[in-house]
Structure 1
Amino acid sequence: MLGAFVDGELPAGECEALQARLADDPRAAARVAAYRAQKAALQALCEGARVAGEDAAPGAAEPAGSAPAVFVLRAGVPWWWRAGIAASWVAVGAGLAVAATALVPRLAPGLAPELAAVSAPAAARSETPEAFARRADIAYAVYSPEQRHPVEVGAADEAHLVAWLSRRLGKPLSVPSLAEYGYTLVGGRLLPGNTGPAAQFMYENDAGERLTLYVASSARDRDPVRLLRDGNRRTFYWSTERTGYALSGPQTEPKLREIALDVCGALGGKPGQW
């Protein structure tokens, strides 16, 4: 109940009763304060780059009674300890630089050392299509069963949802209609991708089955539609114009491949050539 109170999920009557109880229960009040501090610390860690108010619908006011700002204090570290750690990392870096200078000519003959140094981090950041599909599959497995909070922004604010996610991904996004297959848009959310933000749009049919469309930047200009199987889940994935897409759904959806090909075509792909 205390956790629900901190998250603003209690009905008005229960909320007022609990507030009255907190006035006479220092132990419960201390626990509420600790929960709020923990929540603020997690938000600071996970949403430090978030612009104030960008998650709210246009014209919406900040929620009343929101928790006050909380400062998380950490124990100080002696300067001599930091200096010793820094010196150790300098020594390690120098050793790695010497090793890299010796190895790069052997591993990449004919490649300029400066080009090899630049290409290595880029290769490390790249993501295979299979890894991209796995990320989308995990997101589907996590959020599709959720009943109370399946999305961050509901379908009623679709225009705001698309504009917000387009701004975060740095490219114009669109939400294809799946009404032909009996699915309506539930909404969407922002997720972490391999090298930046990713978006997830969720659909649901009258039977309660859900599909998700996962979108993120891709280093690949175009990839054919492929299938990833994991337990009772299926994910069809592809890329078009350096944007990766993945449509995930249950194994019991017999038309999932047909839906994926239609979505691919609607978003600029050419599945007929594959």
Structure 2
Amino acid sequence: MTIEAQETLNAYVDGELGPEEAAELEARLTSDLDARQTLEALSRQKRLVGDALQAIDIGPADLQTERLKRRLADRLAQRTVPRPYRPSLGWLRAGAQVAAACALIAFGWWGHATVTAPVTGVPEYVSEAVGAHQVFADDPDYPVEFAGAAVDGVADWFSGKVGVPITAPDLAEYGVALVGARLLGTKEGPLAQYIYEDDKGARYSLTLAQHPKKEPIGPLTIVDYPNRSVGYWRTADVDFALVGEGGKADVQKIAMDLSSKI
């Protein structure tokens, strides 16, 4: 079989032939056993690679990464066809594409720190908190991992992972109810994120991280990000970041009260 014939079969499997070219090839396949066998091999390998990519699963904890991974898997499944007479190159290409999908998944949450335009001069955990808020607090379908009574049930687990005792503050006096919580893995270490919502549907998130021993403590600081405000402060044990969409005054009020109590 010529290289041109192989390219035509690859294009057919990829759905890249026009109607006339596809009809011409299909007519030839009825009498060309070698071409039919090659086409079957290409189709089978395409399905195997597609199934392998679709089987990669990291669970629902990170929906944005999941959506990106699925889109990548779908795209690769459409384009990945190892060549029959160059199997080593074909499988290397397929392996590289599977590795690319795995790399995207392994990259995971770290990539979300760049979702929101950075504000200079803030600690890294604050940037992580803002990115986490945009990804999770703004998600209407799966904002938290633990809700209701389960939040209290995982308090010890959160504390063990973060490295210091932490709990979810009650913000009911501000008209803000707890939605739930999740644990985030970042390049700075584990972060606990508690998500709240007011009666207008505005979301707030309080992120807690273990305070690095070599870092100084710091008083409450209010900074503005696009469409949200952040109040952060650092204590000897825990660093806090309150991210809110309800307005700078509301974020400042809640953060001032929390920083004076915690």
Does residue 191 (structure 1) correspond to residue 184 (structure 2)? The answer is yes
Partners of 2:202 and 2:246 within 8 A in 1: no
Give the deviation of 1:33 after TM superposition. 4.0
* Matching residue's letter, 1:151: V
Q: Select which of 254, 260, 263 maps to 2:255.
A: 260
1:34 maps to which of 39, 52, 66: 52
Equivalent of residue 205 in structure 1, options 198, 218, 222: 198
Kept in 1: contact 2:124–2:188 (CA 8 A): no
Q: Which amino acid aligns with 1:137?
A: V
Residue type at the aligned position of 2:211: S
Partner Cα distance (2:59, 2:128) in 1 = 26
Amino acid at match of 1:37: A
Number of residue pairs aligned between Structure 1 and Structure 2: 160
d(CA) in 1 for partners of 2:135 and 2:203?
A: 12
Among 117, 136, 139, the alignment partner of 1:146 is 139
Does residue 1:159 correspond to 2:161, yes or no?
A: no
Code of the residue aligned with 2:52 in structure 1: it is A
State whether structure 2 residue 259 is matched by structure 1 residue 246.
no
Instruction: Give the drift of 1:74.
Output: 9.1
Alpha-carbon shift at residue 131 of structure 1 (Å): 2.7
Per the TM alignment, residue 236 of structure 1 is displaced from its structure 2 partner at its CA by: 0.5
Give the corresponding residue for 1:236. 231
| Structure 1 residue 246 displacement after superposition | 0.2
Report % sequence identity.
30
CA shift, 1:238, in A, is 0.6
Residue of structure 2 in register with 1:117 after alignment? none
Paired residue type of 1:240? T
Unaligned runs of 5+ in 1: 1-25, 44-72, 76-127, 268-274
- Note closer, same or farther for the CA distance 1:31–1:157 as it changes in structure 2 (3 Å cut): farther
What is the TM-score with the length of structure 2 in the denominator?
0.54
Mapped to 2, the partners of 1:152 and 1:40 lie a distance apart of 14
| Cα-Cα RMSD | 3.1
2:165 maps to 172
Q: Distance in 1 between matches of 2:168 and 2:59?
A: 34
Aligned equivalents of 1:208, 1:130: Cα separation in 2:
28
Residues 158-196 of structure 1: CA distance to partner in whole angstroms, max 9, x if unpaired?
A: 222312211111211011110001111111111123431
Report the residue type matching 1:38 in the other structure. I
The corresponding residue for 2:219 is 224
Q: Return the letter of the residue paired with 2:56.
A: Q
Measured against aligned partners, the alpha-carbon deviations of 1:189-229 in whole angstroms (never above 9, x if no partner) come to: 11123431111100011211110001112223521101221
Please say which structure displays the higher CA radius of gyration.
Answer: 2
